[in-house]
């Protein structure tokens, strides 16, 4: 993705330079680098170009270089999240199918479910959060994932800690709207091997021996 971004910026700089009737030497002098460096930037070959230099090259031809972030792939998962997912699996009877790190069914999409639980005719994406903070950002990300994931609902699984309870209290209205099934109800239905009935936010109790 970085290479593609540098390549796009270089092409736009070249087109703007040619359109403005500027030579490579003129742009290089304005930027304070060699004309060979400007040529590499324009061809997308300067893969380690400093951001400031790329911005100066853009400014020299009348462009503003704007760098922003957008929702993309899933964030890295820490040991606590893996442990919470494994703990959640112990609440599921063997009659249900449980898979981890399941890619979304879109070619080239880097996102994956932390887990996927499925029964007879239904399946739910499982997302694990151990230290949630921004409810709106979290729900936006999960909504897009649920939309693209081809599942019947979403289970947000969190450890039952003081920090998580504070988050749940602060974001109670947003969570109730996004997850209409109470967590204990959804978990009880899953333990019985049945459809949880809809999306739910589950505070995971202490470890449990997997059912048979």
pLDDT computed for residue 119 by the predictor: 96
pLDDT in tens, 89-125: 999 999 999 999 899 998 888 889 999 999 999 999 9
Query: Which residue stretches of the chain are H helix?
Result: 2-19, 24-31, 35-42, 51-60, 79-89, 135-149, 162-170, 172-178, 183-191
Q: Which long-range CB contacts under 8 A does 57-63 form with residues at least 24 apart?
A: 57/13, 57/27, 57/31, 58/9, 58/12, 58/13, 58/16, 60/17, 60/22, 60/26, 60/27, 60/30, 60/31, 61/13, 61/16, 61/17, 61/20, 61/22, 61/27, 62/16, 62/20, 63/12, 63/13, 63/16
Mean pLDDT of 48-55: 94
pLDDT in tens, 147-160: 999 999 999 999 99
pLDDT computed for residue 91 by the predictor: 94
pLDDT computed for residue 75 by the predictor: 61
**pTM metric for this prediction:** 0.67
Residue 44: CB partners within 8 Å, gap ≥ 6?
A: 3, 6, 7, 8, 10, 11
pLDDT computed for residue 209 by the predictor: 42
Residue with tokens 């040529």: 39
pLDDT in tens, 53-74: 999 999 999 999 988 876 655 5
Mean pLDDT of 189-196: 96
Calculate what percentage of the chain has a pLDDT beyond 70: 92
Residue 210 has pLDDT above 70, yes or no: no
Walk me through the domains of the chain, giving residue ranges and CATH numbers: 2-60 (1.10.260.40), 79-204 (3.40.1350)
């Amino acid at each position: 993705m970085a290479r593609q971004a540098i390549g796009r910026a270089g092409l736009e700089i070249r087109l703007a330079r040619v359109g403005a009737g500027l030579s490579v030497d003129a742009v290089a002098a304005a930027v304070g680098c060699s004309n060979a460096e400007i040529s590499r930037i324009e061809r997308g070959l300067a893969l380690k170009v400093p951001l400031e230099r790329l911005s100066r090259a853009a400014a020299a031809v009348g462009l503003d270089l704007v760098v922003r972030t957008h929702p993309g792939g899933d964030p890295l998962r820490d040991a606590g999240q893996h442990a919470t997912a494994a703990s959640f699996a112990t609440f599921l009877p063997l009659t249900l199918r449980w898979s981890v790190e399941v890619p979304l069914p879109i070619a080239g999409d880097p996102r994956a479910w932390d887990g996927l639980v499925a029964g007879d005719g239904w399946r739910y994406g499982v997302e694990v959060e151990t230290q949630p903070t921004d409810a709106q950002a979290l729900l936006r990300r999960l909504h897009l994932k649920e939309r693209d994931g081809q599942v019947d609902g979403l289970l947000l699984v969190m450890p039952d800690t003081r920090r998580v309870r504070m988050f749940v209290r602060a974001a109670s209205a947003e969570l109730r709207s996004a997850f209409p099934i109470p967590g204990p109800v959804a978990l009880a239905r899953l333990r019985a091997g049945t459809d949880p009935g809809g999306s739910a936010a589950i505070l995971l109790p202490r470890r449990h021996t997997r059912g048979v």
